[in-house]
Amino acid sequence: MESITQIARNLHLQAEQLERENFELYNKIEQLKKFTVCVDGSEEAFAFAKMICKADKTFNEIEKRISQQIYLISSKLYDFMRNELKFNLPITSSGSPCRLPVQKFNAGIKSNDNTFKHIKDVLNRTRETEKICSLHFDEVGVEKCLTYNEEDDVVEGFVDFGSSKEAVIASGIMCFMIRSLFGNYKLLLSYYCVNNLNSDKLSVMIADNIDYAQSELGLDIKALVCDGCRLNISAIKKIRKKKPEYESIMSIIDYSHLNR
């Protein structure tokens, strides 16, 4: 058995070793204090980095917003990141405590089918002359911003064409309205959330609205009414080239907006 003297000597040596290690650590800390740590990253970047390896299933507002933005860009990408890469992202089922919002704009035409069921019944009872209409369209500027609709659990404010969406904040609303030329009614046919709209997309919108008004609602479109901006004129020219059957539809440039 070791003597008490030997045990005391060993403890003394261990204490000296610990003192040397503490002294070395102290010197390293003092040296690190002399260097300025520069961090060039946003709050969202740090939050996303933590989400990759975090273990808990609760998410703060920044993490929810990041997840919503990824899901908006591509739901397939979101599922791949969550299921294959094992990123800790909220699940998308309705039972999740952090359900992702999916846009539910009533933009476009097809999304408004339920709204038009009653209107179709009314139009079927109108005289044929009252079904002769003009199609008016115009873009209204709106403030670029995103808002969270808590009641419907959706993020609103992105570009939305009804059948497709883009991860771009909308700066305007393109509205299409029907006006009876021999009857006493007007009808908001559709609207689209847009940003830097080009003539190709606008020509498709015009064609979709004409087709819907004539084939689904039984209306007879005789004129297109819009202001004389270059975008509108170019879109009308393109639609006439694509669909010669629209040649009979007149184009009325409404400079003073008195025809609205």
Model confidence pLDDT, tens digit, residues 74-91: 677 777 888 888 788 877
Mean pLDDT over 196-224 rounds to 91
Q: How far is CA 215 from CA 120, 137, 180, 219, 258, in A?
A: 11, 19, 16, 8, 28
Report residue 41's pLDDT band, with 50, 70 and 90 as the boundaries. Answer: low
**Would residue 108 count as lying in a domain?**
no
Looking at the predicted structure, is the pLDDT value of residue 99 above 50? no
Q: What pLDDT score does 253 carry? A: 83
Based on the domain organization, do 76 and 119 belong to the same domain?
no
Looking at the predicted structure, is the pLDDT value of residue 168 above 60? yes
**Would residue 96 count as lying in a domain?**
no
Based on the domain organization, do 133 and 253 belong to the same domain?
yes
What is the domain count for the chain? 2
Report residue 115's pLDDT band, with 50, 70 and 90 as the boundaries. Answer: low
Based on the domain organization, do 57 and 158 belong to the same domain?
no
Based on the domain organization, do 145 and 224 belong to the same domain?
yes
Domain that holds residue 28: 4-84
Q: Give me the residues paired with residue 193 across strands.
A: 160, 173
| CB neighbour list of residue 248: distance below 8 Å, 6 or more residues apart | 222
Closest CA to 249 of 217, 201, 214: 214
**Would residue 102 count as lying in a domain?**
no
Give the helix/strand (H/E) hosting 202.
Answer: helix 199-211
